[in-house]
Amino acid sequence: MTRTLYIIGSAAPPVRQLDEACALARTHGWEPCIILTPLAAGWVDLEMLRAATSQPIRTVPRRPDEQDPLPKADAVLAAPLTFNTINKWAAGISDTLALGLLNEAIGLEIPVIAVPFPNVALARHRAFRRSMSELRGYGVQLLFDPDAYPLPTPNLGPASRDLFPWSALREQLAALTAQLDAEPVTKL
């Protein structure tokens, strides 16, 4: 059985590797659908991402008279997420399609794995720590441990993409797949 996994990315360097996230999702039996914040859409090779999924790449909401081009989500992988996206999401702000879908996923109790990827300085900010606590309270599974998965330093540049915890994400996706095999979920 193929399930639908929304992969929601914001403008952090690992967003350029979402084709790898799609391949990872497919190895676990998921149909990946990519949703990007508008800024992230300008950072990626959209043609490469279109080749990684059979679904359209979404960045803006559909009009009220349009049918949703994506199938309903069984789960959400929110990765990478910036400091800004984490704080807006925890506050319930839905000013982009990506944030709107993340907020709806919480309301519909759809499983969400989120991988925040701020720089070290922003990860220490009180607002970020408060937002992480809020999201945990909403049931979001956060893959965030700066001791195990180092964060980039401010202005590190392209090398920071190598810090993203792909192996830990692979394990979390496998665990989510096993969990869903054991119980049905509501679709977004």
- Quote the percentage of the chain above a pLDDT of 70: 93
The strand pairing partners of 31, in sequence order, are: 4
| pLDDT tens per residue across span 58-92 | 999 999 999 999 999 999 999 999 999 999 999 99
Secondary-structure class of domain 3-62+70-176 per CATH: alpha beta
Q: What angle do CA 162, 166, 168 make, to 5 degrees?
A: 130
| pLDDT tens per residue across span 147-172 | 777 777 776 555 555 678 888 889 99
| pLDDT tens per residue across span 8-21 | 999 999 999 999 99
Q: How confident is the model at residue 184 (pLDDT cuts 50, 70, 90)?
A: low
* Cβ-based neighbour number of residue 111 at 10 Å: 18
The strand pairing partners of 33, in sequence order, are: 6
pTM of the model: 0.91
Residue carrying structure tokens 């794995």: 113
